[in-house]
Amino acid sequence: MSKAFTKETAETDDPEEDAVVDLLPVTGKNYITPGGYTRLMDEFLWLMNKERPQMTATVSWAAGNGDRSENGDYIYGKKRLREIDRRIRFLTKRLDMAEIVDPANPREDETQIFFGATITYANLAGEEKTVAIVGVDEVDTARSYISWISPMARVLTKARQGDTVTLHAPGGVEELEILAVRYQPIPMDAFQPVT
């Protein structure tokens, strides 16, 4: 059958893309720090103003080189263009739902844990750890940045300095004593284009 008579699936009907966006709660809010928002916006602008126009030019050039069915530049270019467009749609949704919360802004009660808090806690063995509650697009395990919708953040949220909370993790149940709660700027790495 000729490809002319087949229907390609719509690019917006991407279950993988929908699953990623569905990680957010049904409230539709995407809490994010100013640094995280800047990083997403920088990536969006780079894709729209640099990466996509360059790839469009490459595809256009490759299309003019004859038979497209065996034209590697054309085939790769079209695939890459679909990936770029998928990422642009994803970033557009995330930025539209973004609710920027600056952890450094003064709060009424700085001892209670909410989005943007940096928390130091200890387990029953006395091991101390510090985590910061950030947006779903800002998670960085090397820096101990945890998502505000993660099980750990949900257990910590609304607790106060001095409280003990119970974390039900796959490894078992753990009691955590909250030693300190701080609200301070949370550093984010800038967007780095992949070249």
Domain positions in the chain are 27-100, 117-183
Write down the architecture of domain 117-183 according to CATH. Roll (3.10)
Class of domain 27-100: mainly alpha
- pLDDT value at position 13? 54
- pLDDT value at position 88? 98
CA angle 134, 23, 44 (to 5 degrees): 70
Please indicate, yes or no, whether the overall pTM of this predicted structure exceeds 0.85. no
- With a cut of 50, which residues of the chain have pLDDT below it? 1-12
- pLDDT value at position 1? 45
For residue 146, give the amino acid letter.
I
Quick check: do 27-100 and 117-183 share a fold?
no
Strand 117-123 relative to strand 128-134, pairing: antiparallel
For residue 36, give the amino acid letter.
G
126 φψ region: left (φ > 0), alpha (ψ -120 to 50), beta (else): left
